Amino acid sequence: MKTLSSEEAAGLLHLNVKQVQNLARAGRLPAVRVGRKWLFHQDQIEKLLGRPARSQQGSIEISARNRLRGTIANLRFDGLMAEVVLRVGDQELVAVITRSSAERLGLRVGDEAFAVMKSTEVMVGREGRDG
């Protein structure tokens, strides 16, 4: 279970540090005082914000750093496959994944999701240029 400092909790809650400490002191924010410092359980803070609890069990770290966060604009199932259209800013990214992966992830149009890209090769091209 990850604990947060007053500063980290303030960042998550979009409050200043003094407000967070005053709320903890008044018992309005779950926290533990250790010496002169307040500690907050991250999962309790995220629960207050209405975010799903982050399970440490089953979470993974991946080496890919190219992540684009967006909103699912369209989702189409066809047999064993699913086409996911992710809107990232004013662009759309299309990914084809297995239907079982889409169902396991609980993907729905309007949900926030992210695309992770890892490539060992990048190609660049131009149109209409004679050599």
**pLDDT score of 49:** 79
Q: Among the ranges 1-5, 49-53, 96-100, which has the highest mean pLDDT value? A: 96-100
Spell out the domains of the chain, with CATH numbers in brackets. 3-48 (3.90.105), 66-117 (2.40.50.100)
Distances (CA, A) of 92 to 83, 95, 115: 12, 10, 11
Q: Which residues contact 114 (CB under 8 A, 6 or more apart)?
A: 67, 68, 69, 70, 86
Encode pLDDT of 33-79 as tens digits. 888 899 998 888 888 877 765 554 556 666 666 778 889 999 999 99
Backbone angles phi, psi at 61, to 5 degrees: -110, 140
Task: Please give the Cα distance from 58 to 53 (Å, whole number).
Answer: 13
Closest CA to 39 of 79, 88, 1, 76: 1
Whether pTM > 0.85 for this model: the answer is: no
3-state secondary structure (DSSP) of residue 88: strand
